[in-house]
Amino acid sequence: MRISTYTSRACSEAMPRGLRGGFETHWQVMGQGPRAALAIHCSLAHSGAWAGVARALGRHLTVTAFDLPGHGNSSAWEGKGEIQAVSTAMAANFLDGPTDIIGHSFGATVALRLAVAHPHLVRSLSLYEPVFFAVALADRPGMRAGHEAEMADYRAGVAAGDMARAARGFLRVWGDGEGWDALPEATRARIAAQMPLIEAAAPALYGDAGGMLASGALHHIAAPVLMMQGARSPAIIAAINAGLAARLPDARRVTIPGAGHMGPITRPQTVAEAIATFLGIGS
């Protein structure tokens, strides 16, 4: 699945919508398994990005996936509050007991915060490349210069108010490899319009707005955690996963061959197999 697909708006037919955590939210339910799971997508995507993973796990899991603020068919993000905190409240509102949580990128950081804030609701965490940059930069400050160089085009675009340039630079690092110029014009416009969502997440991802790192809360997450990363992902991802694994009491790591940052979308079967093995359910 390519960028042009995962950034499109989710189909709203027969898919519920209502308040979750006080935010107007769209979601969908996939699979018919006996075990409940909640999936939280990456920035610029929507709940439908989990279709491949959910299909592969559908005999074992019933996966609820919701659209984050400003994504898919959930309401627009208007800057009221801190976006990771709002997203965490939305996630918690879907749960009425211990649930397997699956998260990707920004969604994986929301999953971590959910486990800190509501440990009784989290049975396990399956995290694909949580972009909690504060962890890597605290442990390995020497990585900052390289990371800033990778993100230079994105930051220059934001500073200049040129969101198309920002989007091009962002996807060069975090996309699935499809060239910006090959995308349809409408898709490019949509992605550019979502760049403020990336900026909105920065206080949580770089500044630890949720206090998970500074407070030592990660050391107290009791749920087992699977840390996944792509073999072709940016170097800072390995440092983040290593730093998180060192802090989490029960964490294991796995690398997805051939995958980059968008592994749950480009390699859904392999990611699903890793999750199934971790949960002991078979894929």
Answer for the pair 184, 5: CB distance below 8 angstroms, yes or no: no
Task: Please tell me the distance from the alpha carbon of residue 65 to that of residue 30, in angstroms, as a whole number.
Answer: 8
Cα(28)–Cα(134) distance, integer angstroms = 32
DSSP state of 143: G
Residue 68 DSSP class: P
Cβ neighbours of residue 130 under 8 Å, at least 6 residues apart?
A: 103, 105, 108, 109, 111, 112, 227, 240, 241, 244
**Euclidean distance between CA atoms 129 and 122, whole angstroms:** 19
For residue range 6-30, list pLDDT tens digits in order: 443 333 334 789 999 999 999 999 9
Q: Please answer whether residues 148 and 248 qualify as being in contact, where contact means their C-beta atoms are separated by less than 8 angstroms.
A: no
Pairing of strands 61-66, 23-30: antiparallel
Domain boundaries, the chain: 3-140+208-279
Separation between Cα atoms, residue 44 and residue 63, nearest integer Å: 20
Q: How large a percentage of the chain has pLDDT more than 90? A: 90
CA–CA dist 275, 277 (Å, integer): 5
122 φ/ψ angles, rounded to the nearest 5 degrees = -115, 115
Alpha helices in 151-194 (DSSP H): 152-160, 163-174, 185-193
* Confidence (pLDDT) at 204: 98
CB neighbourhood size of 13 (10 A): 6
* pLDDT greater than 70 at residue 245: yes
pTM of the model: 0.94
Contact 127, 108 (CB under 8 A): yes
Q: What percent of the chain has pLDDT over 70?
A: 94
pLDDT in tens, 150-193: 999 999 999 999 999 999 999 999 987 667 888 899 999 999 99
The one-letter amino acid at 123: R
Q: Give the CATH number of domain 3-140+208-279; options: 3.40.50.150, 1.10.150.20, 3.40.50.261, 3.40.50.1820.
A: 3.40.50.1820
Q: Residue 236 to residues 39, 55, 147, 231: CA-CA distances in angstroms? A: 23, 30, 7, 12
Whole-number Å distance between alpha carbons of 80 and 71:
15
Judge whether residue 282 has pLDDT over 80.
Answer: no
| pLDDT tens digits for range 86-137 | 999 999 999 999 999 999 999 999 999 999 999 999 999 999 999 999 999 9
The CA-to-CA distance between both ends of the chain, in Å, stands at 20
